Amino acid sequence: MGKSCVNATPFVKKIGQGGTGSIYLADDLRLQGRLCAIKEVEHNQTLPSDILEQAREQFFREASVLARLDHPNLPKVSDYFSEDTRDYLVMDYVPGKDLRELMQEAKRNKTFLSESEVLRWAVQIADALNYMHHQNPPIIHRDIKPSNIKITPSGLVKLVDFGLVKIMAPDEVTITVIQGQGTALYTPLEQYGGDDTHTDPRADIFSFGATLYHLLTNEPPAEVRKRFLNNRSLIPPREINPNLSLHIEKAILWAMSLHPDNRPLNVLALRDALVGKQDVPLFPARDLLGFETPQITIVSAEQIVSYFAIGLFIIGFITTLLR
């Protein structure tokens, strides 16, 4: 590709692939021996030219916001640039395994990740999300999942991949950095809307809860669309991992409530519920696990015929009276 920006040399290798672009590893020109990750954003070229231009302008606005973030559990965005039809984010490369890899190792060994260790990770993730959600305007990650959370060799948690991040600008329908809906297993119902106007920090709370569900059970949670149709499709975590603490199960199910109003008000409330500092509200089971399927009464063919005959009789009777 040649020199990609003032900060990085030609890409060393591809280290990730998404639906809208790749992630590359590169050397930093300014600091010898330092590696950075370059996230490629390839916009949909079939969009009308004015919408495409808005998307690229939105990319630069959001990239400039991300570049101002400074938190120990977030990779630092150091630059952003464009080449032809693609835009790029330059950020710290985070070495180490992601939580999906660690979970898969535990599953192969027929065991579960340590509850106390997952809680230590969860506290750090909550701190990062709280920091993002309290920016002005708030920043929503929108793609929290085990493979987007890495553990550095020193044990520090990093919430990576800002691919679907949304800046909640007031009175503005935003076009996200990368158009998409997140990963289905961890995505709340409201995130399936087309214009993002219904997405707020509670969407991240849902994805965070779904991520913890997967990490502590080795099993992916039921997708929300399936839960909407069948409120028993989400298996309570303790039925899969009986050693899981009851208060943690309650906190996870609280976060995974289908309706945003039934979830924790903010990520710190979820954190406190996870560590036992806050009680979970006493929602009915259907509010935590799904919506109740309405009872539908099936009318027999004989009844339909009877109702039809009665209707014809009434119409005939009224017609006779009017003559």
Asked about 161 being catalytic, the answer comes back as no
Cα–Cα distance measured from residue 315 to residue 309, given in angstroms and rounded to the nearest whole number: 10
What are the residues whose beta carbons fall under 8 Å from the beta carbon of 184, sequence distance 6 or more?
A: 223
Six-digit token string for 181: 């809906």
* Cis amide bond preceding 137, omega within 30: yes
Query: What is the DSSP-derived secondary structure letter of residue 87?
Result: E
Only one residue has tokens 């975590």, namely: 237
Q: Indicate which residue of 98, 143, 161, 287 is catalytic.
A: 143
| 18-25 LR contacts (CB < 8 Å, sep 24+) | 18/163, 18/178, 19/180, 20/44, 20/163, 20/178, 20/179, 20/180, 21/86, 21/178, 23/161, 25/93
Question: DSSP characters for 6-32?
Answer: SSB-S--EEEEEETTEEEEEEEBSSST
**What SS3 state is found at 183?**
coil
Six-digit token string for 177: 């950095």
**What SS3 state is found at 145?**
coil
**What SS3 state is found at 269?**
helix
Active-site amino acid positions: 143
